[in-house]
Every structure is written in structure tokens, then in C-alpha cells.
Amino acid sequence: MRIDADLPDLALYDEIITIFLERLNVTVPSLEADLLASGVLDSLALVELLMQLELRYGVQISLEKLDFEDFRSVAAIAAFVARERMCCEPQ
């Protein structure tokens, strides 16, 4: 995944990295690091991350909507959160 103008601003990346640090006690090596393949994000950490994203950003993550590719890196997580927030904003 590449980072470009269509993706969230840097503040969202920073917030997500802070969730990893403060709530999951995990240091993320980079925005593009594969968190699943490297084992940084295991099944328990993924559940905690989903809960934190729901609480912090008000997004609803259903099992039907869950795609692991959306959680493979900080950049992918930020893009997912931005998409979910945009589609669910009141018009």
C-alpha cells in the first residue's frame, strides 16, 4: 500500500501509533510494516485494537466487514478508519 493524498493526514497515523503504544504496549516499526506477518498484531492484540478503534473513532467493525488486509499496517488501519468515518458521517 502506498501513502498518497487520498489517505488520511499524519495526525491519524500518530493517533493509531499512540493506540499501539499506550493500549497494546507495542512499538510499531513503520507505517508500512506488516503487523500481522511480523507477529506484532496477534489475535488478542487485534481484538483490543478493534475495540480501541470503535471507542476512539466511533466506527462499527462487524465480522462481515472484517478484512485482515485493512489491519496489516498502520497505513492500512488509518485508511480503513478514514473510510469508515467518511461513510458514516451524517449528511
89 pLDDT tier (thresholds 50, 70, 90): low
pLDDT score at 1: 38
Checking if the pLDDT of 52 tops 60, the result is yes
Averaged pLDDT score across all residues of the chain: 88
71 pLDDT tier (thresholds 50, 70, 90): very high
Instruction: State the fold for domain 10-86.
Output: 1.10.1200
d(CA 31, CA 62): 24
Give the mean pLDDT of 44-55.
96
CB-side neighbour CA atoms (13 Å) of 6 = 5
**Helix-helix angle 74-88:43-57, to 10 degrees:** 40
